[in-house]
Amino acid sequence: MPLDPPKGVSLPFFRLRLLARGARVAGLGLCWALSLPALAQEPRTVHYDWLTAGEVSGSQVLQVRPDGARVADFEFNDRGRGPKLHEELRVAPDGTLLELRVNGHSYMGASAAESFRVEDGRARWESTLEQGEAPAGGFYSGNDGTPEQLAVLARALLRAEGQRLPLLPAGAASIRQVAEHEVSLGEQTRRATLYAIGGLDLTPQYLWLDDERELFALTYGWMGLARQGWGAALEPLQEMQDRAEKAYHQALARDLTRELPANWVVRNVSVLDVEGGRLEHGKAVAVADGRILRVVNDRGVDPPVYGDLQPRIIDGQGMILMPGLWDMHTHLSLADGLLQIAAGVTAVRDLANDPERLQEIRAAFDSGEVIGPHSVAAGFIDARSPYSAPTGRLADDLEQALSMVREYAEAGYPQIKIYSSIDPAWVKPIAAEVHARGMRLSGHIPSYMTARQAVLDGFDEIQHINMLFLNFLAGPEDDTRTPLRFSLVAERAGDLGLDSVAVTDFILLLRDRGVVIDPTVTIFDSMFRHRSGELDPSYAMIAEHMPPAVRRRLLGGEMDIDDGNAATYARSADALLDMIARLHRAGVPLVAGTDAFAGFTLHRELELYQQAGIGPADVLRIATIGAARVAGSAGEAGTIEAGKRAEFVLLAANPLEDISAVRLPVAVFKGDRWYDTAQLYEAVGIRPFTR
């Protein structure tokens, strides 16, 4: 599921979070005339292009009617997925919504329908997630919608007192101007102004408006929206937006980072020995220049540790000191870093990104300029096809793919990840080139190829647990580049006999070949169990800690689950967990990765491993030293012992008794810096889990 959509994308107008959320409301639709009064407008039609990796892959058509009503049609195609939405809006003189109607389907194909109306001083709304009413006032934030809805909100905020408005059903939004830039198209020039909207997510959402405060562009790295024909403007606009985003995160780092001297000691702690699966009570950990110097019995500070030097002493108050966690499946953005550190994640693996952007992000995290974890990275390769990953560079033939392997090797990448459009015939020669250069090969199983054949041809690791099930469920004509790779597993995984000879033999093949499995099971557990209108079971335990707008998004399911398929999908979700337990018992190496909501999803991933029947000690080993070994970093991280980086987490409860204790970091240490997790969470509007 990587690149679904590019990380860092949070589009409130069609609710892309992990995958875009769907809504289905029986009986709704655009059956009401937009009859409330509106401001007179000069009728016009404005065309926009949606671009993926620089190529037009969708559009928005905005019609402004004489009565002021705005009608937007928005769609794009992303490897067979993408929203198709029709939206009608009418605004009051102050720019807030009087009426809204949305229908169509969202990113994963679930039908979307939503209504909002102000009448007789009351605001009323209805969707599959919720229905309600409140006194009129503020701005209704739709669950589904087009980019125009975000622009309407921006204009209302710019007119509001203090440039701030309450949101319906809950929360508040604000706006600030960030930058201006003049762009050219032939002899035409346009001035675009960048605005940041707060209150829709944990970090600001950005958009570009023109001099008339009409939407000019939205840019999200690999994807973006621009006035028709102005797609070339997205690159310079993205660069300016990146600088603004970086400045925001730099300010957070200045405010929230606590510097440590060269020599320091954390004492009065129980050190978690993840190799032995036990606590070592009454310990002190001495650090010099960002490295663990010694782990000693706590008798105050042992003078021989530092000689005549006077270290800083940090009292651990009897809490548990755990090695920092690893998230082995990320697509890094600057916005991820704070959430990962707050969650006790001190190291990650990036499995597909723009190389230049990733280099900047990693440097910012490592220097402390921006709060974030250490990282290792995989080079990413896909072949050109209608279902290619939305990256800037794709292989047109095998020789290009092999050339990309060589370039990644020369740049020092330890791993290559391939994607679904790779020709199955390429896998064996790619694997040979990867292995000849001392790297590892992982990825999606290419379409029309079985996981078994991929292993035989040289895969060292497989991303996503659904790929193992497709080995048995997908036929030779099934194109698993499409959403079929989700729906087949949702519909049939529960009926796959995991005790069968075929499954048992496949698991033994994985074990014998030492193939690592990166399940990212949380995203599938959520997808298969979460019914719209209910809190996502993967995040229900943290929902009340989230800002109102974020909590509300946790109500939106990804697949169209109803009474007719809920039991089937839940049985399939159970089968995924059963498979993970069988892999572990057989000795197949697992790594814990997320490909989702930074920090919080890793906690849930570990809980699901325990739910599958893996003991907490084994789960912790997977998420620390096991991950470090797979990443080639076992000499640097993964345990608390002399010579390794000082990356550890002070926990308020014992994860050996219940893995959910990983949700309770009090402080996180990273070399010469440490962080109060309560302060980190509060800075982005999250109610802390500890004090």
Domain co-membership, 218 together with 334? no
* Nearest C-alpha neighbor of 126 from the set 90, 89, 101: 101
Task: Give pLDDT, residue 20.
Answer: 30
Question: What's the token pair of residue 520?
Answer: 């990212």
CA pair distance 644, 639, nearest whole angstrom:
8
Confidence of residue 644 (pLDDT cuts 50, 70, 90): very high
Integer Cα distance of 590 and 596 in angstroms: 18
Nearest of 84, 122, 125 to residue 101 by alpha carbon: 125
Q: What is the pTM of this model?
A: 0.92
State how far the Cα of 123 lies from the Cα of 168, in Å rounded to an integer.
9
pLDDT digits (tens, 9 = 90+) for 236-295: 999 999 999 999 999 999 999 999 999 999 999 999 999 999 999 999 999 999 999 999
Average of pLDDT values for 130-141? Answer: 92
Task: For residues 468-493, give the mean pLDDT.
Answer: 96
At 310 the pLDDT is 80
Q: CB–CB of 391/223 below 8 Å?
A: no
- Listed residue (532, 487, 564) closest to 144, CA to CA: 532
The reply to whether 4 falls in a domain is no
Are 504 and 616 part of one and the same domain? yes
Which of 217, 232, 255 terminates a domain? The answer is: 255
End-to-end CA distance of the chain: 35
Query: Residue 141 domain-assigned?
Result: yes
What are the tens digits of pLDDT across the range 290-338?
A: 999 999 998 755 555 666 678 899 999 999 999 999 999 999 999 999 9
pLDDT average, residue stretch 189-211 = 96
Q: Are residues 356 and 251 in the same domain?
A: no
The answer to whether residue 318 is domain-embedded is: no
Are 168 and 22 members of one domain?
yes
* 5 preceded by a cis bond (ω within 30 of 0): yes
Do the domain assignments include residue 160? yes
Look at residue 81 in the predicted model and tell me its pLDDT: 80
Whether 666 maps to a domain, the answer reads no
Residue 129: which pLDDT band, with cuts at 50, 70 and 90? Answer: confident
Residues 242, 355, single domain; the answer is: no
| Whether the Cβ atoms of residue 490 and residue 559 lie closer than 8 Å to each other | yes
Show the tokens assigned to 650. Answer: 């002070």
Give a yes or no: residue 7 inside a domain.
no
Q: Looking at the structure, do residues 242 and 337 belong to the same domain, yes or no?
A: no
Length of the chain: 691
> What 3-state class would DSSP assign to 213?
coil
- Whole-angstrom Cα distance, residue 158 to residue 214? 12
Clarify whether residues 424 and 562 are in a common domain. Answer: yes
3-class DSSP assignment, residue 23: coil
User: pLDDT at position 124, please?
Assistant: 96
Last residue of a domain, one of 611, 634, 657: 634
Task: Say what the pLDDT of residue 363 is.
Answer: 96
Map residue 563 onto helix, strand or coil: coil
Q: Do 221 and 97 have their domain in common?
A: yes
Distance from C-alpha of 420 to C-alpha of 438, rounded to nearest angstrom: 23
Check residue 557 and give its pLDDT.
81
**Domain containing residue 404: CATH number:** 3.20.20.140
Q: Which residues contact 383 (CB under 8 A, 6 or more apart)?
A: 394, 395, 396, 401, 419, 421, 422, 423, 426
Return the minimum-mean-pLDDT range out of 37-41, 67-71, 170-174: 37-41
Domains: count for the chain:
2
- The rounded distance, in Å, linking the Cα atoms of 360 and 348 is 15
pLDDT of 10 > 80? The answer is: no
Q: 278-282, 366-370, 431-435, 548-552: which has the minimum mean pLDDT?
A: 548-552
User: 490 exposed, middle or buried (CB, 10 Å; 0-12, 13-18, 19+)?
Assistant: buried
Parallel, antiparallel or unpaired: strands 461-463 and 516-518: parallel
The answer to whether residue 33 scores a pLDDT higher than 50 is: no
Cβ count within 10 A of residue 39:
12
Considering the domain architecture, whether residues 368 and 502 belong to the same structural domain is answered as yes
Segment 484-487 long-range contacts (CB within 8 Å, at least 24 positions apart): 485/420, 486/108, 486/524, 486/527, 486/559, 487/559
* DSSP three-state, residue 253: helix
User: What is the mean pLDDT of the segment spanning 659-666?
Assistant: 98
Are residue 449 and residue 589 in the same domain, yes or no?
yes
Q: Is residue 507 part of a domain?
A: yes
CA–CA gap between residue 492 and residue 403 (Å, rounded): 39
Same domain, 398 and 515: yes
Averaged pLDDT, 403-413? 97
Residue range of the domain that includes 65? 16-255
What is the pLDDT of the chain when averaged over all its residues?
A: 91
Please return the burial class of 432, using the count of CB atoms within 10 Å of its CB with bins 0-12, 13-18 and 19+.
Answer: middle
Please check whether residue 28 lies inside any domain of the structure: yes
Is residue 54 scored above 60 in pLDDT? yes
Percent of the chain, pLDDT > 90?
Answer: 81
Segment 495-517, tens digit of pLDDT? 999 999 999 999 999 999 999 99
The pair of three-digit structure tokens given for residue 198, joined into one six-digit string: 């707060």
pLDDT digit string, tens, across residues 151-175: 999 999 999 999 999 999 999 999 9
- State which of 255, 277, 301 marks the end of a domain: 255
The answer to whether the CB of 318 falls within 8 A of the CB of 581 is: no
On whether both 48 and 177 belong to a single domain, the answer is yes
